[in-house]
Amino acid sequence: MSSDCIFCMIGVGSIKSEILYNNDTCFVIRDIDPKAPIHLLVIPYKHFGDLTNLTSDFYETLCDIFEAMKNMALQMQIKDTGYRIVINQGSNAGQQVEHLHVHMLAGKPLSTMG
C-alpha cells in the first residue's frame, strides 16, 4: 500500500468506487475518464510499480488479471465484438497512475495501432 496512491486507496475502500468484479488479488472498476464506451481498469490490490521490478510474487496476480479480463469480457458481452488490452508504462506511454494496472477498451471499433 502506498499512502498517496489513488488505486491503493480504492483497493482498501478509503476512496469509493463501484467494484465490478474482484478476485483474491485484483479488482475491476470503470475508468473515470473513459476513452471508449466501455473502459475498464483491472487493478491489483497490491501496489506493483514499474514492470521491470516485477518478480515471482507477481505471478498469482498475473493469472488473476487474466481471469478478471476473461470474466469482464463475458460480463460486458464484448467477447465476440472484441476489445483492446493496454498497459501504459512510463511517461512516454502517458502513464498517470504509477500502480500497475490494465486497461480494457471496447464498445466501438478502435483505431488500428501503428
Q: How many residues does the chain have?
A: 114
Could you say which residues in the range 19-58 bind Zn ion, by CB under 5 A?
Answer: 47
H or E element in which residue 102 lies: strand 102-106
**Coil, helix or strand at residue 6:** helix
Could you say which residues in the range 41-80 bind ligand AMP, by CB under 6 A?
Answer: 41
H or E element in which residue 59 lies: helix 59-75
Q: All 3 cell numbers of residue 22?
A: 474482484
Does 8 interact with Zn ion (rule: CB under 5 A)? yes
AA identity, residue 63: C
Residue 61: CB minimum distance to Zn ion, A = 13
Task: Please work out the total of residues on this chain that contact Zn ion, with binding judged by CB under 5 A.
Answer: 6
The one among 79, 81, 97, 108 contacting ligand AMP by CB under 6 A: 97
Q: Which residues lie near ligand AMP (CB under 6 A)?
A: 6, 17, 29, 31-33, 41, 88, 94-97
